[in-house]
């Protein structure tokens, strides 16, 4: 996978110039000093990947959170093991994170990481009591990302198309990134994870592997199909190498495109649209959902397209424009 100048090997994921095997992920370029804790974390990482089906992104975040916790514990009780994870210690750690300015969403994730870890440790017989069960998960303040107006979305697609007119392979890829994210509303990680065989060009469908390894089918329209065809016939062959494998989207060196690079592409495209907010891939996902709902799409259909496990998550996207609310009210209410 192309990650900004470094290739990730097939046998592991590279971080900070070092490699680890598929059995675990290394964070920060170094191992913590306590080999017992590291061994537990490596086992926990395997559990997250193999039994819980958690993504690399989630695993990296959880293990980073846990290493922060064990650093905190080591500073206060050098040599302490897992049994030192008492409720006061966990609360003190979270309080220190909050004092340092951690957002509610970050605190919520760190609490979830600890709860998942201690439950696993209890099941493995490493703990006799799970103190984290009494730890309350801070409610994250759910904020809406900026959303494009439909005319701004159209201008963004035109900007990406214009940039690809000369046939440059990277420009053709960038056009496809922007078009497909907006056309389908899929996550950037899902887009970058697509293989060529995941695309049904005849029926214009994507086979998407979402969170929790749940598979869904997502349609895309004619503009995205045109961008895809140009990429597959002109762009991808120019970048593909022996190590490209089946990856649909490629980096400049032929490896699978990294989501961070895709985010950069979206931000650069948005900068060319006058008056448009500086959104990333999630903003395009949010815009796609909003425009579907404004066009009259059923909420449950949008839920399926986005890959949300609950309808409540999709309802976050239902902030339709005041103009549409007014139009529906005027049409439907007897006293309008």
Q: Which two tokens stand for residue 86?
A: 């008492």
225 and 166 share one domain? yes
Domain boundary among 92, 108, 134: 134
The question of whether 211 is a catalytic residue gets the answer: yes
Band of the pLDDT at 129, cuts 50, 70, 90?
A: very high
Q: Look at 32 and 295; give whichever has higher pLDDT.
A: 295
Q: Is residue 170 part of a domain?
A: yes
Of 187, 186, 178, 184, nearest to 155 by C-alpha is 178
- Number of domains, the chain: 2
Question: The CATH number of the domain where 255 resides is what?
Answer: 1.10.443.10
The question of whether 317 is a catalytic residue gets the answer: yes
Q: Which of 161, 263, 282, 324 is catalytic?
A: 282
pTM confidence score: 0.62
186 Cβ contact list (under 8 Å, min separation 6): 180, 206, 208, 210, 218, 285, 306, 307
The question of whether 300 is a catalytic residue gets the answer: no
155 and 267 share one domain? yes
Q: Is residue 319 part of a domain?
A: no
The residue-averaged pLDDT of 228-246 equals 96
Domain boundary among 134, 167, 185: 134
Which tens digits make up the pLDDT trace of 12-63? 333 233 333 333 333 333 334 478 889 999 999 999 998 888 888 889 999 9
The length of the chain in residues reads 336
Q: Which of 54, 173, 187, 236 is catalytic?
A: 187
Q: Which of 59, 175, 236, 308 is catalytic?
A: 308
The question of whether 15 is a catalytic residue gets the answer: no
Question: Helices in the chain by DSSP H: which ranges?
Answer: 35-46, 56-76, 87-99, 104-123, 150-163, 169-184, 188-192, 222-230, 236-239, 259-270, 281-294, 299-306, 311-315, 322-332
Share of the chain above pLDDT 90, in %: 59
Which tens digits make up the pLDDT trace of 250-293? 999 999 999 999 999 999 999 999 999 999 999 999 999 989 98
Q: Which of 211, 216, 225, 263 is catalytic?
A: 211
Q: What is the pLDDT of residue 144?
A: 64
Answer yes or no: is pLDDT of 318 > 70: no
Sign of the dihedral through C-alpha 195, 200, 205, 209: negative
The question of whether 203 is a catalytic residue gets the answer: no
Domain that holds residue 157: 150-281
Range with the lowest mean pLDDT among 86-95, 126-135, 178-187, 311-320? Answer: 311-320
Domain boundary among 134, 162, 188: 134
Q: Which of 110, 173, 285, 286 is catalytic?
A: 285
Q: Which two tokens stand for residue 170?
A: 């990277």
């Amino acid at each position: 996978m192309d990650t900004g100048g470094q290739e990730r090997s097939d046998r592991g994921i590279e971080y900070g110039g070092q490699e680890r095997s598929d059995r675990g992920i290394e964070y920060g370029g170094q191992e913590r000093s306590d080999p017992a804790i590291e061994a537990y974390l490596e086992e926990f990482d395997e559990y997250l990947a193999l039994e819980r089906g958690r993504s690399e992104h989630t695993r990296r975040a959880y293990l980073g959170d846990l290493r922060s916790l064990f650093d905190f514990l080591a500073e206060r009780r050098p040599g302490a093991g897992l049994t030192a994870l008492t409720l006061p210690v966990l609360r003190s750690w979270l309080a220190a994170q909050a004092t340092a300015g951690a957002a509610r969403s970050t605190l919520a994730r760190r609490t979830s990481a600890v709860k998942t870890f201690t439950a696993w440790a209890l099941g493995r017989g490493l703990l006799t009591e799970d103190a984290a069960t009494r730890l309350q998960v801070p409610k994250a303040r759910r904020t809406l990302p900026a959303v494009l107006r439909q005319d701004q979305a159209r201008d963004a697609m035109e900007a990406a198309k214009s940039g690809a007119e000369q046939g440059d392979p990277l420009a053709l890829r960038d056009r496809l990134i922007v078009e497909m994210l907006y056309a389908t509303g899929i996550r950037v990680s899902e887009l970058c994870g697509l293989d060529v065989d995941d695309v049904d060009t005849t029926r214009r469908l994507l086979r998407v592997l979402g969170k929790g390894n749940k598979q869904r089918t997502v349609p895309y329209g004619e503009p995205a199909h045109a961008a895809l065809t140009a990429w597959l016939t002109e762009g991808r062959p120019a970048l593909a190498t022996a190590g490209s494998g089946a990856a649909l989207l490629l980096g400049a060196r032929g490896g699978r495109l990294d989501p961070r690079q895709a985010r950069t592409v979206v931000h650069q495209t948005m900068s060319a649209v006058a008056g448009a907010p500086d959104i990333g891939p999630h903003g395009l996902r949010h815009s796609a959902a909003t425009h579907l709902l404004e066009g009259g799409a059923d909420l449950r259909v949008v839920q399926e397209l986005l890959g949300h496990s609950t309808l409540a998550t999709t309802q976050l996207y239902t902030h339709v424009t005041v103009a549409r609310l007014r139009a529906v009210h005027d049409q439907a209410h007897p006293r309008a």
